Amino acid sequence: MLAPIFRHITANENVFVERLIEYLRQPSISAQDIGIREVAALLETMLGDMGMDVQVIETDGHPMVVGSLPFKPGLPTMLFYGHYDVQPPEPLEAWTSPPFEPTIRDGRVYARGAGDNKGQHFAQILAIESWLKVHGDLPCNVKILLEGEEEVGSPHIEAFVEANRELLKADLVVTADGPLDASGKPVIMFGTRGAVRFDLVAREASRDLHSGNFGGIAPNAAWTLVQLLATMKSPDGTITIDGIYDDIIPPGERERAAADALPVDLDALKREIGIRELDAPRDRPLFDRIMFQPTLTINGIVGGYTGKGIKTVIPCEAQAKCDMRLVDGMAPEKVLSLVEDHVRRHAPGVAVVRQGGGKHPSKTDMDHPFAEALIRAVTLGHEQPPLLYPMIGASGPDSAFTRILGIPAFFVPYANADERNHAPDENIGLEFFHKGIRTGAAIIAQIAASAR
């Protein structure tokens, strides 16, 4: 079934790139509310023209686009997730060619959204279209969900999935987002860390005070904050918030073995991000750090006089913006409560300001039958087997599917490692775009086969 589709994709490579360029021309910047509705309408037409039943569904933010082919009982149902919004393109002067004038150079299309995520979900759409063009039909049920606010943290995905369980009902979800391995090897990811975000706000005197006249008398909001933060994480890297590790479900043997099997070039990594040493504790394996350990990160800290020169004041206010990444077993609401309890005990005058309700971690069984199908599909699309990541360090919308719909969720990225997502000169290599279409077509075949 797949060979004629691959031939169709090869025959249409140039046309597909031209259509990708047309799609990338349309800005859809969620943070700035630019072009979102125009692109949602464009997708409605695009999916409708393929014979899909399409709905553009409002949320409290930007709309979701949901498409599905007519349902055929007895066949497995795949939900493809992607997002049609893009990052703001600034700084514009750093782009070699303008972000919304897609340009081909050195075998890549450069444009905002080329990699993240238009180029990837468009490849998936073309894979479905190719099946329909060549065989007139698909061997499984397919649904597509395209979100319009992933780049602003998917604030409504959970409520949306909750409210549309029937519409989104599926046996698995596949997301083509993020990059391949730096070696060019394809990858499949089975989980994401959760996340919570909060600000810590320390207030002491009613104004900044002279550090000579009041030094020793007036509490210092910056010191209050520093001393509080020092009670939350020890220099050896352990998070010292009571109970924070209690609910963690350690990785199984399968996950740990998969992590251990991943290639590591520590020196190249250090060079790339410009660090001398890994964060404490220094002896922890690289992938253990981002897959199986929670973090407590100060994203930003500010208080008192921070301008040029000197101003000898005692700051009356200081603030830290923090995030925590959560691993399997940790629940955002519980973690935020533990943070609040800790702050109440150690610095009752400091306010904890929650920034949203957080995201659950997501984990999918690496031994799930669909995993085998996806590995076969990716191997067909890329002509080499994928690296298997039990977890990635970042957070995503996956938990909405794994937790609320109760289905396995897989990340199968199509973009090259140097896609420069979120940065100027974002791009997708044409080779990877075409492999993505092939992989998308193969996924449909393999998932259908696995259910037989």
Q: Is 295 in the site for its own copies (CB under 8 A)?
A: yes
Q: Is 276 in the site for its own copies (CB under 8 A)?
A: yes
Q: Is 153 in the site for its own copies (CB under 8 A)?
A: yes
The angle at the Cα of 66, spanning 109 to 90, to the nearest 5 degrees, equals: 35
Using CB atoms within 10 A of its CB, is residue 393 exposed (0-12), middle (13-18) or buried (19+)?
middle
Q: Name the segment binding its own copies (CB under 8 A); options: 100-108, 143-151, 199-207, 254-262.
A: 199-207
Q: Is 393 in the site for its own copies (CB under 8 A)?
A: yes
User: Tokens 């897989």 belong to which residue?
Assistant: 410
| Gap between the Cα atoms of 126 and 434, Å rounded | 10
Strand order in the sheet with 317-326: 317-326, 194-203, 351-354
Q: Is 14 in the site for its own copies (CB under 8 A)?
A: no
- 320: three-class secondary structure by DSSP: strand
* CB 284, min distance to its own copies, A: 8
Q: Is 229 in the site for its own copies (CB under 8 A)?
A: yes
Q: Is 315 in the site for its own copies (CB under 8 A)?
A: yes
Tokens of 167: 């519409």
Tokens of 67: 């498409």
Name the phi and psi angles at 267, rounded to 5.
-65, -40
H-helix or E-strand spanning residue 161: helix 157-163
Report how far apart, in Å, the C-alpha atoms of 356 and of each of 152, 156, 248, 292, 328 are.
Answer: 12, 11, 22, 23, 20
> Comparing C-alpha atoms, which of 99, 254, 268, 76 is closest to residue 170?
76
Alpha carbon 441 to chain centroid, angstroms: 23
Q: Is 197 in the site for its own copies (CB under 8 A)?
A: yes
Which of 28, 117, 293, 362 touches its own copies by CB under 8 A? 293
Q: Is 275 in the site for its own copies (CB under 8 A)?
A: yes
| Gap between the Cα atoms of 161 and 402, Å rounded | 11
* CB 422, min distance to its own copies, A: 8
* CB 86, min distance to its own copies, A: 17
Which of 297, 333, 357, 385 touches its own copies by CB under 8 A? 297
Q: Is 321 in the site for its own copies (CB under 8 A)?
A: yes
Q: Name the segment binding its own copies (CB under 8 A); options: 22-30, 40-48, 55-63, 213-221.
A: 213-221
- 144: three-class secondary structure by DSSP: strand
The conformational region for residue 128 under phi > 0 = left, psi -120 to 50 = alpha, else beta, is alpha
Which of 130, 395, 399, 416 touches its own copies by CB under 8 A? 395
- Complex with its own copies: residue 14 or 306, whichever CB lies closer: 306
Q: Name the segment binding its own copies (CB under 8 A); options: 109-117, 127-135, 220-228, 372-380.
A: 220-228
Which of 280, 345, 357, 431 touches its own copies by CB under 8 A? 280
Q: Is 168 in the site for its own copies (CB under 8 A)?
A: no
Q: Is 345 in the site for its own copies (CB under 8 A)?
A: no
Q: Is 306 in the site for its own copies (CB under 8 A)?
A: yes
* CB 91, min distance to its own copies, A: 14
Q: Is 298 in the site for its own copies (CB under 8 A)?
A: yes
Tokens of 286: 């690289």
Q: Is 268 in the site for its own copies (CB under 8 A)?
A: no
Which of 195, 387, 407, 428 touches its own copies by CB under 8 A? 195
